[in-house]
Amino acid sequence: MSHESPLPCPEPLVLIIAIFFVTHWVLAAFVQVFFLHRYAAHRQFTMSKGWERFFYLLTYVVLGSSYLPPYAYAVLHRMHHAYSDSEKDPHSPENYRTPIGMILATRRSFDDLAHRRTEIEPRFAGGYPEWPALDRLGWWAPGQIAWGVAYALVYIVYAPTVWLWLLIPVHVLMALVHGMLVNWCGHRYGYRNHDTRDVSTNVFPVDLLVLGDMMQNNHHKHPMHTSTASRWFEIDVVGLVIRGLARLGVVHPRVPIDASRVSAAGR
């Protein structure tokens, strides 16, 4: 009687690293999409001050070294929609030769806005949540370095091979990595459901990696809709979370939930 050997199991230490990386990736995508993008920049929904402070703090804890002040994120993103894929768009792949060049320029723009060195148009100001003390802490260089050291310590203690240390820069730059994926891929590859004045595209199912934000064409067509899904096969993970939180009374969408899923046939 033959006995088949069991499937090989990953080493416990590799499993710890995998869980740490995936958890950080998913939570970082969530706070960026839910709080920074759809709440701070677009105000797709409202919430109480208590819940706003909860998600504000969660955003800081999750993003850590790559924390982005909601004020700066909101202003930059509103400029992106107003000038989408034109010369004034702060992060369009139409204006940069490489994704690295685009994200480095975006980081400089964030820094100027975070330190209030940039004069912004009045139409881009206001309506975003603010917590000045937390924003100063999140954009404080020694604090960012401390978060980076904390990520590195996890790998120093648990990673069974130094090759896994290559993931540390992703942790350190997590928010910028997500932004690069969304803005580069979502304006360069994929398909279009709607005729828009920009070159935005949908990159589903790769979009699932960022929980719904890479369906840029759908979003640019309907920026106030809480779901970026337009066709039957498209899935917006954060849009589903918003639906659930709306039923619980945590958030209150400005556009009715049922109107936030638009048939591509109506483009």
CA–CA separation, 169 and 14 (whole Å)? 18
Is 216 within the bounds of a domain?
Answer: no
Mean pLDDT of 67-75: 96
Q: What pLDDT is attached to residue 126?
A: 92
Mean pLDDT of 4-12: 63
- pLDDT digits over 231-247, tens only? 999 999 999 999 999 99
Q: How confident is the model at residue 7 (pLDDT cuts 50, 70, 90)?
A: low
Is 79 within the bounds of a domain?
Answer: yes
Is 173 within the bounds of a domain?
Answer: yes
Would residue 78 be called left, alpha or beta, if left means φ above 0 and alpha means ψ between -120 and 50 degrees?
Answer: alpha
- pLDDT digits over 122-131, tens only? 999 999 999 9
Mean pLDDT of 248-260: 85
Average pLDDT, rounded, for the chain: 91
CA–CA separation, 125 and 219 (whole Å)? 21
CA–CA separation, 213 and 134 (whole Å)? 25
Domain that holds residue 71: 12-195
- Count: domains in the chain: 1
CA–CA separation, 160 and 248 (whole Å)? 43
Say what percent of the chain tops pLDDT 90. 83
Is 156 within the bounds of a domain?
Answer: yes
Is 25 within the bounds of a domain?
Answer: yes
